[in-house]
Structure 1
Amino acid sequence: MSIQERRERERAERRRLIVDAARELAEAEGWDAVTTRRLAERVEYSQPVLYSHFKGKDAIVRAVAVQGFVDMTERLRAARTAHRSPARALRALAIAYLDFAAERPALYDAMFVREVDLAFGTAETPPELRAAFGEFVAAVSPLAGDDDLETRIEVFWSALHGQATLDHGRRLRAGHRRARLDLLLSRFS
């Protein structure tokens, strides 16, 4: 391995360490607790080293969000592909999505709620976001009929996002999650 390759590998490892630390700190204490000073202490690098990898907190949140899409896509794919029936695959994907949002609220917040510099539905959309959308395409398309597929997916995803966000904020009746999901799925299956 050349010196250049080793340096690139070490740089990538530092970047991953910073992203992981930000994600862990946000999950434990919320995004307000994530500062470059606290991250520098946590990863045992100076603040200038953090700034050599990221322009600031917003760039770190963006990196966390992109990694979150990788994690979410894996969960959605595993849930969807565990079922042959299109209706069951859609249900499994929806449950996996809602569980992901409930289990990782700060990560979900970075991905979908916080203002981050991530383009959705454009030529600049990162491949990690496209892969997540692809799982929705795979789950919804067998049930789409004559509807515009992308619009159907956007409405379905929006409904799941609304449920996830309102559940997190304790704005919905806690014991009715399944009933809400059943109603939603009855409109899309």
Structure 2
Amino acid sequence: MAIADRRLREREDQRRLITSTARRLAEREGWDAVTTRRLSSEIEYSQPVIYKHFGSLDEMTEAVALEGFVELTETLTRARLTAQPDDAVGAAAHAYSAYALDNPALYDAMFTRANRLTFSAADTPTPLSSAYAELRAAVSTIQTGQDIDTLTEVFWAALHGLVTLGRNHRLRSHHHAEQIELLIAQFAGR
């Protein structure tokens, strides 16, 4: 069994190296730079080794996105747990925004690049559900009498819109913090 365990660990290490290299390349040069040829050159694995782990570049991008959702969940959890109870929504909004701005290519893999990852489905992957649950936990601190899931979805959509429009220079970037504060005020009833 020790040999099988070692091979499994090596396979997991290879997979992590491939996804971390893809992510690093995407953050540095954009997703168009992430090709199997480029990855094989960067990590010194043959293209067939990469295809042994991922059937396509889309599948690899989805794996990177799933890692991003794990990180986003951790970020939102930390923000919510360290905030004052009456500022959980604000802490979550600022943490979400900072995460998206600090990881633009990863955020694209998670939300703007086409993939098969879906929310609100029977087969929604746990990392996606966990990220949503953290946003929901923060939003649930607002006492509005409205359906909490609908309120969370609208909050998330507005937050995503501010982040995406800001990143793409469609909004006044020097007003980003003010825009986030206005969103928080509207949802928190301040």
What TM-score, normalized by structure 2, do the two folds share? 0.96
Verify the 8 A CA contact 2:25 2:33 in the aligned structure 1.
yes
Structure 1 residue 41 displacement after superposition: 1.1
Structure 2 gap segments, 5+ residues each: none
Task: Name 1:125's counterpart in structure 2.
Answer: 124
CA RMSD of aligned residues (A): 1.0
Q: Deviations over 1:138-175 (max 9, x none)?
A: 10112143111111000000001001101110111122
Count of aligned positions: 188
Gap regions ≥5 residues in structure 1: none
Amino acid in structure 2 at the alignment position of 1:61: T
Determine the C-alpha separation between the residues in 2 that align with 1:116 and 1:146: 35
Q: Is the 8 A contact 1:17 1:43 kept in 2?
A: yes
- 2:159 is matched with which residue? 160
Aligned residue in 2 for 1:45: 45
For residues 31-42 of structure 1, what are the structure 2 equivalents within 5 Å? 31-42=31-42
Instruction: Write out aligned runs for 1:63-142 (5 A).
Output: 63-86=63-86, 88-142=87-141
Query: Structure 1, residues 84-137: CA drift from partner, whole Å, max 9, x if none?
Result: 323x11111101111111111000000000001102111111011111011111
Distance in 1 (CA, whole Å) between partners of 2:12 and 2:182 is 45
Label 1:144 to 1:32 Cα distance change in 2 as closer, same or farther (>3 A).
farther
How do residues 6-21 of structure 1 correspond to structure 2 at under 5 angstroms? 6-21=6-21
Contact 2:61-2:109 within 8 A present in 1 as well: yes
Name the CA distance, whole Å, in 2 between partners of 1:89 and 1:151: 18
C-alpha distance in 2 between matches for 1:140 and 1:179: 19
In the TM superposition, residue 34 of structure 1 has moved relative to its aligned partner by 0.2
| Structure-2 separation of matches of 1:50 and 1:58 | 13
Within 1, Cα distance between the matches of 2:138 and 2:96?
Answer: 12
Once superposed, which parts of structure 1, at least 4 consecutive aligned residues long, lie more than 2 Å away? none
Measure how far apart 1:39 and its partner are.
0.6
Q: Distance in 1 between matches of 2:31 and 2:143?
A: 38
Match for 2:15: what amino acid? Answer: R
Partner SS for 1:172: coil
TM-score, normalised by the number of residues in structure 1: 0.96
Identity fraction in percent = 50
Letter in 2 for 1:151: T
2:176 and 2:26 mapped to 1: Cα distance?
26
For the residues of structure 2 that align with 1:165 and 1:146, how far apart are their CA atoms? 29
CA contact (8 A) 2:89 2:141 kept: no
Distance (whole Å) between structure 1 residues aligned to residue 84 and residue 98 of structure 2: 21
